[in-house]
Amino acid sequence: MRIHRDGWVLILLVVLFVAVNGYLSSILSKRRTSLLPTTYNSSKRGVKALYELEQALGVSVERWEKPYTKLDNSIKTLVVIEPLDTAEFPGEEKAVQHWVKKGGTLVVFVGDGSSMNGNPYFPLTDIAPRLAMAGKITRPNFNPKWSQISRGISKLELTQYTRLDTLSTSWESVASDKWGKVITMMKHGAGREFAVVGGDWLSNLQIRRADNAILLANLITPGPIGFDEFHHGYTHGLTVPGNRRSLWKAIGLAGRLLFFQILALFLLIVYNLNRRLGPAKSRDIIGMKARTDYMAAIAQLHKRAKASAIPLQAMAAALRQEIARDLNVEDDPQKDSLWLKFEEAYPDIGAPTRRAVQRIESIQLTGKRMANESEMMALAKQLDQARRALRNGRGIKSTTHP
């Protein structure tokens, strides 16, 4: 089949569209993943190095991919790194507070997305970053009570312009510099909550600078430690009731791109159905071959098998049944009532048709006399005319069988 030029253009557009969208999907997906501060992310913005640092120190660590309602004694320290990507699961705020009260340690690296008026992603609602004319390199002053955290630290390279603000006086300063608070702590029952300046200084790129790695190790060790990945989107298909994200956001970048691809392909198909792939061409309608032509072809096959009369015999039997059904008369070969009534109803072709059928039946009975091709064609033609007459409901003139 020859494809018109418009067809090739359409095929090319579809191929280009799928290729470009696949490429963009891959790029955007990688870019989005590379921006999240997760322990799975090995790019410069990820925190996989922090996770591996704890492993290298022999600390028991795991990626916590369940809501806070599932917190138990299997972990002693929960590390939450903002910004987060998944909304709060129903009941998480009370669950994490109860877990801390029982002796757990919560360490939150507060990201730029936090709000002093309430962070919907995390229960520490009265902690927020504030802008400060701060330098990256700082030599923080540690509260003497927290010597275990300050051990081995002389300077840090933190995110510029960010320090912590607290609304509650229950927060105790652990480390600060001339620009503001760097680490604060609040007791909560038998446990503690730490709020720490977040940002790029936690990343794979900057964790090795200054004494950043030492501070992180001192702060979140000992374990077992759980790194919150549930709120970075690693929910493993768990449906989050009450999630504030719409379905459009919930399906993710890949799902949205797939939707646009399907929509574009649908539009292309609609366009294709409304535009022919080339000009319409008229075709000569070839009529159905006459029944006699069909009989000639069948006859050739039966002639080779030395059974030339078989098609005629089948036609004759079928014709007798049609006549009996049409005229409502019994088809009894021993009586002439069928043919008498047929000749009365169709005087033009009645007698010739009767002789043709009798000739065919005589060949069938003897089993010896073979009809030649010209005779067989003449008999077939007569039977065909009789059938057409029956279907038309009126007699037609026909060539008398010789």
Question: What residue ranges do the domains of the chain occupy?
Answer: 36-245, 291-392
Average pLDDT over residues 338-357: 83
Looking at residue 238, its pLDDT comes to: 55
In the structure, what pLDDT confidence band is assigned to residue 356 with cuts at 50, 70 and 90? confident
- Listed range (172-181, 245-254, 393-402) with the worst mean pLDDT: 393-402
Length of the chain: 402
At residue 221, the 3 state secondary structure works out as coil
* Helix or strand (DSSP H, E) at 187: strand 180-188
Looking at residue 12, its pLDDT comes to: 77
Q: Count Cβ atoms below 10 Å from residue 164 Cβ, excluding itself.
A: 23
DSSP 72: -
- The closest alpha carbon to 395, from 381, 385, 382, 380, belongs to 385
Average pLDDT over residues 307-335: 75
For residues 128 and 115, give the distance between their C-alpha atoms in angstroms, rounded to a whole number. Answer: 5
Contacts within 8 Å (CB) and 24+ apart, 286-290? 290/384
For residues 336 and 325, give the distance between their C-alpha atoms in angstroms, rounded to a whole number. Answer: 16
For residues 76 and 104, give the distance between their C-alpha atoms in angstroms, rounded to a whole number. Answer: 5
**Residues 6 or more apart in contact with residue 222 via CB below 8 angstroms:** 59, 76, 77
Looking at residue 242, its pLDDT comes to: 41
8 Å CB contact between 131 and 162: yes
Looking at residue 115, its pLDDT comes to: 46
For residues 393 and 396, give the distance between their C-alpha atoms in angstroms, rounded to a whole number. Answer: 10
44-97, pLDDT tens digit by residue? 888 999 999 999 989 999 999 888 889 988 999 999 988 777 777 788 888 888
- The closest alpha carbon to 216, from 123, 65, 107, 115, belongs to 107
In the structure, what pLDDT confidence band is assigned to residue 282 with cuts at 50, 70 and 90? low
Looking at residue 401, its pLDDT comes to: 39
- Listed range (18-32, 48-62, 73-87, 170-184) with the worst mean pLDDT: 18-32
For residues 50 and 227, give the distance between their C-alpha atoms in angstroms, rounded to a whole number. Answer: 10
In the structure, what pLDDT confidence band is assigned to residue 11 with cuts at 50, 70 and 90? confident
Across the chain, mean pLDDT equals 75
Query: Would you identify the CATH topology of the domain 36-245?
Result: Rossmann fold (3.40.50)
Looking at residue 93, its pLDDT comes to: 83
For residues 91 and 94, give the distance between their C-alpha atoms in angstroms, rounded to a whole number. Answer: 6
Decide if pLDDT at 272 tops 80. no
- The closest alpha carbon to 221, from 152, 156, 288, 305, belongs to 152
Buried b (16+ CB within 10 A) or exposed e, 381-396: bbbbbbbebbeeeebe
**Residues 6 or more apart in contact with residue 227 via CB below 8 angstroms:** 39, 47, 51, 61, 62, 63, 64, 79, 81
Decide if pLDDT at 225 tops 90. yes
Average pLDDT over residues 299-327: 70
Looking at residue 121, its pLDDT comes to: 43
For residues 81 and 175, give the distance between their C-alpha atoms in angstroms, rounded to a whole number. Answer: 19
Ranked by mean pLDDT, the top range of 190-204, 297-311, 358-372 is 190-204
Decide if pLDDT at 321 tops 70. yes
Buried b (16+ CB within 10 A) or exposed e, 1-23: eeeeeeeeebeeeeeeeeeeeee
Q: Cα separations (Å) of 229 from 24, 141, 164, 226, 338?
A: 26, 31, 23, 9, 92
97-120, pLDDT tens digit by residue? 899 999 999 999 887 655 444 444
